[in-house]
């Protein structure tokens, strides 16, 4: 008799993303020194995946990563995971990453093309699409090399859209989930792509058994895009599934969540406490308005600065009484659109200071260096945090801030951030294109009565803690078993095991106590 297929819960996990959870450098003494990878995906997933005995493959970013890749081995990552690297030809990587991933797919999924002029596809587009295809193929081969362990493959994000179908062709029986961390643009906008690219992109994703998105809105956009583009597949929008090549694909929302533990530990560290003291001294008696974002187009930084300018015009009584700290590490600096956007953002910031500053008061400070600890320190002290992305898959900053803020700070949040679904009712909603409304949201946040601030801050924290990265992963594995027909009873027994939900209520209890502990901590600071 043939052995039953193991459940997803008892199978090894192989994760793949472009940027990995760790990257290596050679220390002065020649030893390998690991550094945590940056970005929302890593922040959200590293904990749960490495606790779950996963192997995580990513592109080699440094010479030391390439050395590791050359050994063909993986490296242990605490507490229970392994990291491995895929060495990609630098010439191909440029077309794949800077070209297609960041100039085409990122701009498309966030609706950022300047449509009067761009896109204008040319022969170079075809070439870089070929690079994208080749690099996706390299990743798929690296995943296929794991086939003897019969793992569950968890493919992450828009850089690797073609991997599921490529892997499916290598291993027709593979169990594959793909998760998109960005928005997914809808059928009309997707029609901007050359028709061949559009079809290849959708078919590439449809190689998976499960397609995960951050919100229902993006999942529905995917379903409608497939219905609009591919004639030979059956799309059931209501049941959120697609039948293709005799297989069923589930298209679902699995909103990602934060693991509160590491962030709270960082926030409570001696280094962050010191940074908080310094920041407190810099702020003085003023209220603190904060934003923390990568310096990048989808974050809507220019309109955010215009809104602050408008707030100061409409409410001159706030002159000298508020400071806007914008922590905006530079991102994707090799790409012209991103360079131009960074320049325009900094110009808009300078204009605010020229127009309103003086008499010892600088209304806006922009910090463009990478400074995670500085950001965590600032989370502790804001009175209002502005999160106004044009569109955003989820937005983890809007969850991190409320988790460690010590002043019952208000959150002014774009309705186009995936996080709005979870946090919206406790936040001050804003349309990211409405500068006047954003200015008013800043004012509402800064003048909100203490009782309301406290109620909303507690609501935000509860909403952040109501989910967890474990739940994100478990829901996908459960659906993978469902779509592959693995016995329900066997699964239920296993779900009580290491990936069960048992830790969550404890986390909430800890939070309720934590708010008070945080306040005390602030006084000590």
Contact residues: ligand F6P, CB under 6 A: 19, 39-41, 157, 181-182, 331-332, 393
* Cα–Cα distance for residue pair 105/505, rounded to 1 Å: 38
* In the complex, least distance from residue 37 CB atom to ligand F6P, rounded to whole angstroms: 8
* In the complex, least distance from residue 112 CB atom to ligand F6P, rounded to whole angstroms: 14
* In the complex, least distance from residue 19 CB atom to ligand F6P, rounded to whole angstroms: 4
Which helix (H) or strand (E) covers residue 344, if one does?
helix 336-356
* In the complex, least distance from residue 405 CB atom to ligand F6P, rounded to whole angstroms: 22
Asked if residues 111 and 391 have their Cβ atoms less than 8 Å apart, the reply is yes
Cα angle at 118 between 114 and 120, to 5 degrees?
Answer: 170
* In the complex, least distance from residue 41 CB atom to ligand F6P, rounded to whole angstroms: 3
196: left (phi over 0), alpha (psi -120 to 50) or beta: alpha
Asked if residues 219 and 253 have their Cβ atoms less than 8 Å apart, the reply is yes
CA distances from 343 to 47, 297, 336, 339, 350 (A): 35, 11, 11, 6, 11
Token pair 């994208």: residue: 132
**DSSP secondary structure letter of residue 69:** H
* Cα–Cα distance for residue pair 355/378, rounded to 1 Å: 25
Contacts of 367 (CB under 8 A, 6+ apart): 325, 326, 327, 328, 374
- Closest to ligand F6P by CB, 402 vs 418, is 418
- Closest to ligand F6P by CB, 182 vs 185, is 182
- Closest to ligand F6P by CB, 153 vs 318, is 153
* Cα–Cα distance for residue pair 381/374, rounded to 1 Å: 11
Token pair 């320190």: residue: 377
* In the complex, least distance from residue 335 CB atom to ligand F6P, rounded to whole angstroms: 10
Q: How far apart are the first and last CA of the chain?
A: 66
- Closest to ligand F6P by CB, 157 vs 479, is 157
322: its two tokens: 């508020």
159: its two tokens: 């850089």
- Closest to ligand F6P by CB, 182 vs 353, is 182
* In the complex, least distance from residue 392 CB atom to ligand F6P, rounded to whole angstroms: 8
Token pair 């008799």: residue: 1
At 257, phi and psi to the nearest 5? -135, 175
- Closest to ligand F6P by CB, 55 vs 182, is 182
CA distances from 460 to 264, 445, 465, 513 (A): 16, 14, 9, 15
- Closest to ligand F6P by CB, 183 vs 445, is 183
* Cα–Cα distance for residue pair 102/296, rounded to 1 Å: 11
* In the complex, least distance from residue 25 CB atom to ligand F6P, rounded to whole angstroms: 18
- Closest to ligand F6P by CB, 185 vs 331, is 331
- Closest to ligand F6P by CB, 296 vs 440, is 296
Asked if residues 261 and 269 have their Cβ atoms less than 8 Å apart, the reply is no
* In the complex, least distance from residue 292 CB atom to ligand F6P, rounded to whole angstroms: 12
CA 277 to chain centre: 29
* In the complex, least distance from residue 447 CB atom to ligand F6P, rounded to whole angstroms: 33
* In the complex, least distance from residue 297 CB atom to ligand F6P, rounded to whole angstroms: 12
- Closest to ligand F6P by CB, 393 vs 409, is 393
Contacts of 218 (CB under 8 A, 6+ apart): 180, 182, 183, 184, 253, 393, 418
- Closest to ligand F6P by CB, 181 vs 264, is 181
Q: What is the full DSSP assignment across 201-239?
A: HHHHHTTSSEEEESSHHHHHHHHHHHHHH-TTSEEETTT
* In the complex, least distance from residue 201 CB atom to ligand F6P, rounded to whole angstroms: 17
Q: What is the full DSSP assignment across 422-435?
A: HHGGGSEEE-TT-H
- Closest to ligand F6P by CB, 19 vs 277, is 19
- Closest to ligand F6P by CB, 219 vs 486, is 219
* In the complex, least distance from residue 6 CB atom to ligand F6P, rounded to whole angstroms: 29
Token pair 């997707």: residue: 190
Token pair 């309103």: residue: 356
């Amino acid at each position: 008799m043939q052995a039953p297929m193991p459940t997803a819960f008892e199978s090894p996990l192989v994760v793949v993303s472009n940027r990995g959870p760790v990257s290596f450098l050679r220390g002065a003494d020649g030893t390998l020194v690991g550094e945590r990878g940056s970005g929302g995906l890593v922040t959200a997933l590293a904990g749960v995946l490495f606790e779950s005995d996963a192997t995580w493959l990513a592109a080699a970013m440094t010479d030391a990563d390439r050395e590791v890749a050359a050994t063909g081995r993986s490296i242990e990552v605490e507490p229970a995971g392994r990291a491995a690297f895929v060495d990609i030809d630098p010439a191909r990587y440029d077309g794949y990453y800077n070209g297609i991933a960041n100039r085409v797919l990122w701009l498309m999924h966030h609706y950022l093309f300047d449509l009067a002029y761009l896109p204008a596809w040319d022969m170079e587009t075809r070439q870089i699409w070929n690079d994208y295809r080749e690099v996706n193929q390299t990743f798929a081969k690296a995943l296929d090399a794991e086939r003897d362990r019969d793992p569950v493959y968890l493919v992450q994000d828009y850089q690797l859209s073609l991997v599921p179908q490529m892997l499916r062709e290598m291993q027709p029986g593979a169990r594959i989930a793909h998760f998109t961390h960005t928005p997914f643009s809808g059928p009309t906008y997707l029609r901007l792509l050359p028709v061949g690219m559009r079809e290849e992109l959708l078919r590439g994703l449809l190689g998976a058994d499960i397609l995960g998105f951050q919100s229902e809105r993006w999942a529905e956009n995917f379903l409608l895009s497939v219905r609009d583009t591919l004639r030979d597949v059956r799309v059931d929008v209501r049941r959120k599934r697609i039948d293709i090549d005799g297989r069923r694909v589930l298209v679902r929302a699995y909103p990602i969540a934060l693991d509160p533990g590491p962030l709270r530990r960082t926030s409570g560290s001696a280094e962050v406490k010191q940074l908080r003291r310094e920041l407190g001294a810099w702020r003085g008696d003023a209220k603190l308005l904060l934003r923390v974002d990568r310096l990048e187009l989808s974050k809507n930084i220019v309109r955010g600065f215009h809104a602050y300018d408008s707030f100061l015009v409409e409410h001159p009584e706030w002159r000298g009484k508020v400071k806007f700290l914008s922590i905006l590490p530079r991102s994707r600096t090799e790409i012209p659109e991103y360079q131009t956007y960074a320049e325009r953002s900094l110009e808009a910031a300078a204009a605010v200071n020229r127009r309103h500053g003086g008499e010892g008061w600088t209304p806006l400070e922009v910090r463009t260096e990478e400074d995670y600890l500085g950001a965590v320190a600032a989370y502790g002290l804001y009175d209002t945090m502005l999160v106004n992305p044009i569109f955003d898959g989820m937005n983890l900053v809007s969850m991190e801030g409320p988790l460690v803020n010590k002043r019952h700070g208000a959150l002014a949040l774009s309705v186009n951030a995936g996080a709005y679904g979870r946090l919206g009712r406790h936040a001050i909603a804003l349309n990211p294109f409405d500068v006047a409304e954003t200015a008013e949201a800043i004012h509402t946040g800064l003048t909100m009565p203490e009782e309301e601030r406290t109620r909303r801050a507690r609501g935000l924290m509860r909403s952040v803690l109501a989910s967890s990265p474990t739940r994100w992963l478990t829901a996908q594995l459960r659906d993978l078993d469902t779509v592959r027909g693995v016995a329900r009873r066997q699964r239920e027994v296993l779900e009580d095991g290491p990936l069960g939900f048992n830790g969550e209520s404890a986390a909430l209890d800890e939070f309720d106590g934590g708010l008070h502990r945080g306040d005390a901590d602030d006084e000590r600071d």
